[in-house]
Amino acid sequence: MEKVKASLRSVEGSLQDLAARRERLIKESRDVIASCSRCIINLHNDKQAEAASELATARRILGGLKRTASAQLLRYLVPPEAEFVEASVVFALIGGRPVPSISTLNSSPEAYVLGLLDSVGELKREVLDSIMKGKAMVARKHFAEMEELYSVLSPFASYDHLVNGARRKIDVARMIVEDTRGVLTEETSREKLVSSMERLQKRLGSSG
Determine, yes or no, domain membership for 173: yes
- Is 111 a residue whose pLDDT tops 90? yes
CATH value at residue 183: 1.20.58.2140
89 contacts 99 by C-beta, under 8 angstroms? yes
Entry pTM: 0.86
37 contacts 91 by C-beta, under 8 angstroms? no
Determine, yes or no, domain membership for 40: no
Determine, yes or no, domain membership for 193: yes
Determine, yes or no, domain membership for 151: yes
CA distance 207 to 41: 51
Q: What is the pLDDT of residue 136?
A: 87
Radius of gyration of the chain from its Cα atoms, rounded to whole angstroms = 24
Worst-scoring range by mean pLDDT, 110-119, 168-177, 193-202? 193-202
Per the structure, the complete domain to which residue 162 belongs is given by 108-208
Beta strand ranges found along the chain (DSSP E): none
Determine, yes or no, domain membership for 26: no
Q: How many structural domains does the chain have?
A: 1
The more confident residue out of 207 and 109 is 109
∠ Cα 180 181 185 (to 5°):
120
Determine, yes or no, domain membership for 188: yes
Q: What is the pLDDT of residues 35-70, one digit of tens each?
A: 999 999 999 999 999 999 999 999 999 998 888 877
Determine, yes or no, domain membership for 62: no
